[in-house]
A and B are shown apart, each in its own frame.
Chain A
Amino acid sequence: GAGVSQSPSNKVTEKGKDVELRCDPISGHTALYWYRQSLGQGLEFLIYFQGNSAPDKSGLPSDRFSAERTGGSVSTLTIQRTQQEDSAVYLCASSPQRASTYEQYFGPGTRLTVT
């Protein structure tokens, strides 16, 4: 079946512009996660959606970052007034339910470059 998809695969933007990154999770998966991975670094948790519950936004690095999940499916991560330190690969993952007993299925990521 179809896995997690993300678009665009690559995004180059100028400093100060806004960007939107999209994630299509596996159908039926109620949990959705966003992570950021800087070059050669680990996975930095950003935000977590579980069903209809309020999202856990504790990992968002600043108020320039926001995310929404519409209809319990597609999610969009928005970065406003991008800065060079926002350059990274943004990974989305989905899971049948919350992480405890279910593996996360990762998408291919969006590589964001801020010039």
Chain B
Amino acid sequence: QQPVQSPQAVILREGEDAVINCSSSKALYSVHWYRQKHGEAPVFLMILLKGGEQKGHEKISASFNEKKQQSSLYLTASQLSYSGTYFCGTETTDSWGKLQFGAGTQVVVTP
């Protein structure tokens, strides 16, 4: 039930791009993305809904492939502040309202 995230970790230089993937074995209703910095609570980034609606921060982009039950988060022109652990949370069509989170992708952006 837990979604699978890849890669587990990525190291970037400022200005580089990266993609984080989230894959589920079950049909999805929504995918949520959060970022957690060390010692802090997770912070909301984006929600992607079945049917194409998205809610989130303008500087973050993501995609949701309903047929493949996958979502990708795009880190473009990365900044030092993008460092942290990124989690996807998936809401399946048979379990509304509840999110199962992946194991996380650790992102380190270096100068």
| Neighbour of A91 across the interface among B41, B47, B53, B103, CB < 8 A | B41
Q: A98 within 8 Å of B by Cβ?
A: yes
Within 8 A of B (CB), among A43-80: 43-45, 48, 50, 56, 58
B99 contacts which chain A residues (CB < 8 A)?
A: 33, 45, 99, 104
A99 contacts which chain B residues (CB < 8 A)?
A: 30, 32, 89, 91, 97-99
Which A positions have Cβ atoms within 8 angstroms of B? 31, 33, 35, 41-45, 48, 50, 56, 58, 91, 98-109
- Secondary structure of the A contact surface, majority rule: mixed
We find that the number of chain B residues with CB closer than 8 angstroms to chain A is 27
Within 8 A of A (CB), among B83-111: 87, 89, 91, 95-104
26 residue pairs of the A-B complex, CB under 8 angstroms, read A42-B87, A42-B102, A42-B103, A42-B104, A43-B87, A43-B101, A44-B101, A45-B100, A91-B41, A91-B42, A99-B89, A99-B97, A99-B98, A100-B29, A100-B49, A100-B97, A101-B47, A101-B49, A101-B55, A102-B47, A103-B44, A103-B47, A103-B55, A104-B34, A104-B42, A108-B41
Contact A98 B101, beta carbon cutoff 8 Å = no
CA distance A107 to B100 in the complex (A): 18
Which B positions have Cβ atoms within 8 angstroms of A? 2, 29-30, 32, 34, 40-44, 47, 49, 53, 55, 87, 89, 91, 95-104
